Amino acid sequence: MKILMAAFLGLIQGVAEFLPISSSGHLNLLQALMQTGYQNQLLFNILLHMGTLLAVVVVFWRDWVAMLRHPIKNPTLLLLVIASLPALIAKVALGDQLDYLETHNGLLGVCFLFTGFLLMLAQWISQRNQTRRLESDRVGVQNALAMGLMQAVGMLPGVSRSGSTLFGGVASRLDRETAAKFSFMMSMPAILASFLSEGYSAVKTGGLPQTGDMASIVVGVAVAAVSGFLAIRFMLRIITRISLNWFALYVALLGILVIFLQTTGVMTDVSDTVASAARSLGALL
């Protein structure tokens, strides 16, 4: 893989991970269209996610220190564990199927459209909660479970993890800023678990990155870390001031574009059954 291409994908990963537009969906789309030719796409994508994990560590380092120093007094660590359980269960139960979906694009367009629907619904619920003064700035067990369930849904490429967990937060009556911060912190255990799982599989099957790819990987991870840091700062600053409908419009249009590309054969990485479904949905749109 060219270093410039790896840097570009790292930039997309860093920005899209924390904006509610699906980083995995964008990576899959770009890798399919540009034919990057990387030998282990899933492992490379997870390594890029490790870059954004570094961003989460840096931005919230005070929170991590407080949690580790006072794990009993500070309930955040326990809440993060609770929030991680649904995705862990889904990974254990549906591991091979999820791996397949993460590297194939049959449902990509539909998942982008689903993300748009979730974001519009989150915007409406958030405004309703604010008007009725139902919002809370303290994460509880019910909030962690709701966001955890939506994080499991967000494992599908094209379904934004940050967008789906933000929806889970506001649906359980958290204010947007609190939901966004907890959502970003939730990414850390999820990324670590994916890295360990996929890394083990790579070692077991001999699918480790080739020596010639190492420079590109390092550059991609570094760019993902820097752009992820800036994206977190940006999102936390604007989350209470911008309408989520703008993000919803973007991913909905992207979903329609992907379905069109699948229907016309530009993107062919789909099974016959999924391709037929995409053509039917494309005809309806």
Residue type, position 39, single letter: Q
pLDDT at 277: 36
Region of 186 on the Ramachandran plot (φ > 0 left; ψ -120 to 50 alpha; else beta): alpha
Q: Pinpoint the alpha helices (H) of the chain.
A: 3-18, 23-34, 41-59, 61-69, 76-93, 95-103, 108-131, 141-153, 161-171, 176-205, 214-238, 244-263, 272-284
**Alpha-carbon span 151 to 177, nearest angstrom:** 17
User: What secondary structure letter does DSSP report for 1?
Assistant: -
Note the pLDDT of residue 94: 84
How many alpha carbons fall within 13 Å on the CB side of residue 117?
9
Give pLDDT < 50 ranges for the chain: 270-285
Distance in angstroms (rounded) separating the CA atoms of residues 4 and 216: 8
CA 243 – CA 240 distance, rounded (Å): 8
What phi and psi values does residue 241 have, to the nearest 5 degrees? -110, -20
Residue corresponding to tokens 């909905």:
252
Q: Distance between CA atoms of 143 and 83, rounded to whole angstroms?
A: 8
The pLDDT assigned to 36 comes to 60
